[in-house]
Amino acid sequence: MTNSAAPRRHLPTSPFKAAVPPTPKRFAVGDRVTHDEYGLGRVVGAEGAGEVAVLVDFGARVVRVSAPFAKLFLL
């Protein structure tokens, strides 16, 4: 049996509540952030109002982190 990549759909007759989609992360220039690999940093640029990608200065390097920002967290 294989797992399907498609998300499960909620049936209207189901007694269970529908899963709430997570809110997308948004970052603004100047935000302090932490990354699982690079550590502490500051957002120095944002593409698409901070929803598509952000440029983060981690001191030793500037890294472009693109959505969905799984390893990037706002402090």
43-66 pLDDT tens trace: 999 887 767 889 999 998 999 988
Tell me whether residue 51 is in a domain. yes
pLDDT of amino acid 32? 95
In angstroms, the CA 44 to CA 67 distance is: 16
pLDDT of amino acid 27? 87
User: What phi and psi, each to the nearest 5 degrees, are found at residue 36?
Assistant: -60, -30
In angstroms, the CA 31 to CA 61 distance is: 17
Mean pLDDT of the chain: 85
Q: What is the pLDDT of residues 7-40, one digit of tens each?
A: 778 888 989 888 887 787 888 889 999 999 899 9
pLDDT of amino acid 1? 56
Determine the structural domain holding residue 50 and report its residue range: 32-74
Tell me whether residue 21 is in a domain. no
Tell me whether residue 69 is in a domain. yes
Provide the domain count of the chain. 1
Instruction: Give pTM, 2 decimals.
Output: 0.68
